[in-house]
Structure 1
C-alpha cells in the first residue's frame, strides 16, 4: 500500500484567561511529529531535509507562532547572523539597489542586514560602526575604500570581516569596477560621433571618492582623444534631478560651444534633459547627453538615455558572497573588476556644426 502522511493535529488553544506561553522547539516537534533536532535543522539548515519534512515543520511552526530564540542561538554559536552596513546618503541614488542585492544574498544564507544610512553631511562612520558592533554584528560592509583611521582600527580590534563596496577593485576586500574604463566608454562614444567640445555635470569631488574617480576617468579619456573640456564647462553639484536641472541651466546661460554633456549619473542626466527641453534645445540634434549607471528609469526618459551600465546589483551580490566566505573561513580568490558596458539609446547622435 502507498505510504500516507498523517496531518499534524490542530493546535490546542490555552484556557481562557491563562497567560500566554512562549512556544518551544519541543512544541513544534510534537505538533509536526518529528524530533527537536529535525525542527532545528528545518529552521537553520533546511537543505538537509526532504521537502515534505521541511514543510511539515514550517507549517507547525507557523500554526504555533514559533519564533526561534535569537539571543540563545547567538550565545550558543557565538554568532548573531547579522551583518552591518554603513552607506551614507541612501536617498536619490543607486544605493537602494546595491543594498537590496546585498541583503537578498545574505538573507539566502540566513543572515540579517542592519543598515546605517545617514545623510552624507552628517555621517560619522566611527560612531555608526561602533553602534553596529555593540549590536553584535558578525561582519561589516562599507561604501568605498576611503575611511577614517578609526574605522579600520575598530574593525581590526574586533576582528570583523569587512568588505568595501563600490571601491577600487585593486584593493583587498574591495568589490567594484574600473571607473576609468567606464568613463572611457562614454567619452569614446561621443568622440566617435564627432563631438569635440564637451561639458560635464558631476558629483562633488572634494568629499566623494566615486565622483572623484569618475571625473578623473573622464579627464583621462578626454585628453587621450584630444577633446576639450573647459573649466567653465564643468559643474560639480549634489546628485539629484533638481541639481542636474539647475546645472544644465547654468551651462546654457554661459553659451559655451559644446555639443555634448556627460552627467555623473542618471539622476543628474534626468534633470539636464528636462532643462534642455524647457530651453528648447533638441536632444540629440543640438546637444547629446550621456551618463552613467543605467538606472531602471533610463530607457523611459525623453529621449531614452545613453548611459554606461554599472554593475550595481552585482556589487551587492559579490560583496555578500565575499563576507559569507570570510565568515565560513573559506578561501577568497583575487577579486576582479566587475564588467561595465555602454548602452546606446536616443540621447546621443552625430555632432552637428555649432
Structure 2
C-alpha cells in the first residue's frame, strides 16, 4: 500500500497526503480528515525512517519527566503530548523514578533517537545535561522550573501561590501551622515550596516550628502516616498545609481515624487542586496550579521554535486559591 493509493482514495495529491500525515498544521482540517480516513481504511503506515532521512527530522519531541510518587505530572504530560500531536509531533517520554532522574544516559538516549526538541522537568540538572544540549543544539524548554534558570521555562508564580494559602489561613485566625511536604534533598519543587512557606509564615508573624514539619514521599499513605506522627507530638497547631493534594487526602484520613473534626479542630489545605479534591469530606481547600496549561504552553513553545518562529520567553502562569470546606476559623482558647 503506497502513499499514491491513499492520495487516490482521498482525492488529493500525494504531496497533500505527505503534508497531512507529517505536518498536519499545514493542511485544511477537512482535507486532513479525508486523508486520515483514507490512510486508516487502507491500513497505510508511512516509512518513518525514510521520511526522517529525507526531512532531516523525526517529528518527535523527547521529554524527561521523573516520577515523584503521587503527583500531578501525568496531567502535564498528557497536555504536552496532545498539543504536540495536534501539530504532527510524537512525544517520546522518559519517566524514571527520582533516584535516576539525574542520570545522563536518560537524556543521551533521547538525543540518540534523533528527537527534534527536548522538554525537561525543572531547572536542577547535572552539568552533563547542559553539555549534551550545547553539543547537540535543538529547541529545549523547561517545565515547572525556576523562572530565572537557564533557558526558557513554562512555570507559575510559586511565591504568589504560597502567599494566597497563607493569607487565607491567617485571615481565619490561624497562627501556628504544621507542614507535610516532599523530600527537599531530591525535589527542587519541594525545596521551593518549603522555603516559600517559611518566608510567608515569617512575614506574617506566624509560627511553623521545626518539629511541626515532616518530609516524606508524595502519596496517600505517606500523608496518612505523617499526620499520625504530627498528632502523636501533641503540638499546639490549628492548621496543616500539605505539599500536594495526595498528602492532604492521606492526612485527612488520619484525622478522621483519630476523631479530629475538620475544620473545627484542625484546618487542612493542599496544593495543586487535583480532580479528587472537591470530593473529599470535607472538600479540600487547595491552590489550583496550572499543571495542564504548563504542558500545553510548553508544547506550543516547541512547535513555534521548530517552525522557526522565534517564540517569546514564556510568561509566568497564574495560580489561585480554591477555598473549600476543609479550612475554617481557628479554634479559640
**TM-score, scaled to structure 2:** 0.95
1:235 corresponding residue in structure 2: 214
Tell me the residue number matched to 1:121.
Answer: 99
In structure 1, what is the Cα distance between the partners aligned to 2:305 and 2:33? 31
Does residue 25 of the first structure (1) align with residue 36 of the second (2)? no
1:91 Cα offset (Å): 4.9
Task: Measure how far apart 1:148 and its partner are.
Answer: 0.2
Once residues 32 and 154 of structure 2 are traced to their aligned partners in structure 1, the CA distance between those partners, rounded to angstroms, is 36
Distance in 1 between the 2:138 and 2:67 partners? 24
Q: Point out the more displaced range, 34-43 or 70-79.
A: 34-43
SS at match of 2:91: strand
Residue 265 of structure 2 aligns with which residue? 286
Deviation of 1:43 after TM superposition, in Å, equals: 2.7
Does the 8 A contact of 1:174 with 1:335 survive in 2? yes
| CA distance in 1: counterparts of 2:230 and 2:275, whole angstroms | 27
Q: 1:53 to 1:164 in 2, by over 3 A?
A: closer
Give matches, 1:299-318, under 5 Å: 299-318=278-297
Instruction: Give the match for residue 89 of structure 2.
Output: 111
Deviations along 1:85-130, one digit per CA (max 9) or x if unpaired, are 1111165210000100010111111000001111112334311011
Higher relative contact order (CA 8 A, sep 6+): 2
Distance 1:90 1:26, change over 3 A: farther
**1:49 Cα offset (Å):** 5.3
Structure 2: distance between partners of 1:128 and 1:234: 33
Aligned partner of 1:169 among 140, 147, 159: 147
Instruction: Give how far 1:63 is off.
Output: 2.3
Ranges in structure 2 where 5+ consecutive residues have no aligned partner: none
Q: Deviations over 1:123-169 (max 9, x none)?
A: 34311011111111111111100000000110110102211100112
Judging changes above 3 Å, is the alpha-carbon distance between structure 1 residues 162 and 351 closer, same or farther for their aligned structure 2 residues? same
Q: Equivalent residue for 1:187? A: 166
User: In the alignment, is the contact (CA less than 8 A) between 1:261 and 1:290 conserved in 2?
Assistant: yes
1:206 to 185, 192, 210: 185
- Give the match for residue 89 of structure 1: 67
Shift of 1:291: 1.3
Are 2:301 and 1:322 equivalent residues in the alignment? yes
| Conserved 8 A contact 2:289-2:320 | yes
Aligned equivalents of 2:24 and 2:227: distance in 1?
54
- Note if contact 1:90-1:96 (Cα within 8 Å) is conserved in structure 2: no
Are residue 130 (structure 1) and residue 108 (structure 2) matched? yes
Cα 1:218–1:34 change in 2 (3 A) is: closer
- 1:144 matched to which residue of 2? 122
Q: Is the 8 A contact 2:69 2:217 kept in 1?
A: no
Q: 2:322 aligns with which of 343, 347, 350?
A: 343
Q: C-alpha displacement at 1:328, in angstroms?
A: 1.5
Per the alignment, residue 67 of structure 1 pairs with 45
Runs of 5+ consecutive residues of structure 1 not aligned to the other structure? 1-22
Name the SS for the 1:199 alignment partner. Answer: strand
Q: Which has the larger radius of gyration?
A: 1
Deviation at 1:55, TM superposition (A): 4.6
